Amino acid sequence: MQKGALWFLSGFGLALLIGWYAFPQLLYRSVDQPVQFSHAVHAGEAVGMTCDGCHAVSDDGRFAGIPTLEQCAGCHVDVLGASEAEKYFVEEYVRQEREVPWHVYARQPDNAHFSHADHVKVGEIACERCHGPHGTSETLRPFEENRITGYSRDIWGVNISGVKSNPWEGMKMDDCVACHKENNRRSACLACHK
Sign of CA dihedral 154, 158, 159, 165: negative
Please say which residue, 85 or 160, places its beta carbon nearer to other proteins: 160
Sign of CA dihedral 126, 105, 143, 53: negative
Catalogue the long-range contacts made by 65-69 (C-beta closer than 8 Å, 24 or more residues apart): 65/104, 66/102, 66/104, 68/99, 69/93, 69/94, 69/97, 69/98, 69/99, 69/100
> Shortest Cβ distance from residue 156 to other proteins (Å)?
7
Chain residues binding other proteins by CB under 8 A are 3-16, 18-20, 23-24, 27, 57-62, 64, 68, 109-111, 113, 115, 117-118, 121-122, 146, 148-151, 156, 160-162, 184-186, 188-191, 193-194
d(CA 132, CA 51): 12
Q: How far is the CB of 115 from other proteins (least distance, A)?
A: 4
Least distance to other proteins, CB of residue 47, Å: 24
Nearer of residues 46 and 190 to other proteins, judged by Cβ: 190
User: How far is C-alpha 133 from the chain's CA centre?
Assistant: 11
Q: Which of residues 62 and 87 has its CB atom nearest to other proteins in the complex?
A: 62
Q: What is the nearest approach in angstroms of other proteins to the Cβ of residue 157?
A: 11
CA max distance for the chain: 73
Nearer to other proteins, 11 or 81 (CB): 11
What CA dihedral angle connects 41, 42, 46 and 52, to 10 degrees? -150
Nearer to other proteins, 45 or 110 (CB): 110
At closest approach, how far in Å is the CB of 79 from other proteins?
26
